[in-house]
């Protein structure tokens, strides 16, 4: 804007133009923010927690079904837990009046892929529902299982590539780890934190795998 033109403009208009320019500059230079699941405990804390977990063989899957862990529940307005996590973990996510994600992009920490369709993204339970059932949740109340299945406070929910989530299934870290090596430390820290918080057990192979992974963190 030239100085001559600025002098001809009302003072309010000049101030507004300056503010708009400053905002535009900020938008151009600021990096695009992308949130993520809550940061897990440190590796040293995870090692301490792991030593405190009860080691025992996995329980029976008898009586288990996903319906035993009510999800996705309404979190606010029209938004359920899945849509909240899609918004949280994505970049430039737009939602419609029903809170469904209509556009955006999602970087999958498990495999390093980026997706632009919400239908290609699953919300993974860090500690799978079936694993939880066999690790103590079979004795929980329905309200406790609901809280676990929709936990936005602990590092229990994360948006990832759907087929990678499906390949994980209900396997524990002795059987499956994220194919993206750089994320394994975060993964096991989160796993231990969730198991410790909910008082779940670990089997011996699971504990060995977690201990080995944490030793390299």
| The model scores a pTM over 0.85 | no
Angstrom distance (rounded) from CA 208 to CA 152: 28
Domain boundaries defined on the chain? 1-30, 33-215
φ and ψ at 10, to 5 degrees?
-60, 150
Write b or e for each residue in 36-68: b if 16 or more Cβ atoms lie within 10 A of its Cβ, otherwise e: ebbebbebeebbebbeebeeeebbeeeebeeeb
The answer to whether 188 and 217 are in contact (CB under 8 A) is: yes
Q: What is the pLDDT of residue 35?
A: 59
The answer to whether 41 and 47 are in contact (CB under 8 A) is: no
The answer to whether 196 and 49 are in contact (CB under 8 A) is: yes
User: Residue-wise pLDDT tens for the chain (217 aa)?
Assistant: 333 333 333 333 333 333 333 333 323 222 333 458 999 999 999 999 999 999 999 999 999 999 999 999 999 999 999 999 999 999 999 999 999 999 999 999 999 999 999 999 999 999 999 999 999 999 999 999 999 999 999 999 999 999 999 999 999 999 999 999 999 999 999 999 999 999 999 999 999 999 999 999 9
Strand pairing class (101-107; 74-76): unpaired
Q: What is the pLDDT of residue 36?
A: 86
Q: What is the pLDDT of residue 103?
A: 97
Q: Would you give the end-to-end CA distance of the chain in angstroms?
A: 54
Both tokens assigned to 28: 């151009």
Q: What is the pLDDT of residue 105?
A: 97
């Amino acid at each position: 804007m030239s100085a001559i033109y600025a002098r001809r403009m009302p003072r309010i208009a000049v101030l507004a133009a300056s503010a708009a320019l400053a905002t535009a500059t900020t938008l151009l230079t600021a990096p695009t923010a992308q949130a993520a699941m809550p940061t897990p405990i440190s590796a040293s804390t995870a090692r301490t927690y792991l030593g405190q977990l009860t080691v025992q063989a996995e329980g029976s899957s008898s009586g288990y079904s996903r319906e035993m862990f009510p999800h996705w529940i309404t979190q606010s307005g029209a938004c359920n837990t899945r849509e909240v996590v899609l918004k949280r973990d994505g970049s430039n996510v737009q939602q419609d009046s029903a809170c469904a994600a209509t556009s955006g992009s999602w970087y999958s920490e498990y495999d390093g892929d980026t997706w632009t369709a919400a239908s290609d993204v699953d919300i993974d339970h860090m500690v799978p529902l079936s694993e939880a059932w066999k690790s103590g949740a079979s004795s929980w109340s329905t309200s406790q299982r609901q809280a676990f299945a929709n936990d936005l406070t602990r590092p229990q929910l994360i948006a990832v590539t759907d087929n990678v989530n499906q390949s994980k299934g209900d396997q524990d870290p002795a059987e499956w780890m994220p194919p993206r090596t750089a994320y394994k430390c975060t993964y096991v820290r989160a796993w231990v934190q969730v198991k410790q918080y909910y008082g779940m057990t670990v089997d011996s192979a699971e504990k060995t795998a977690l201990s080995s992974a944490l030793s390299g963190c």
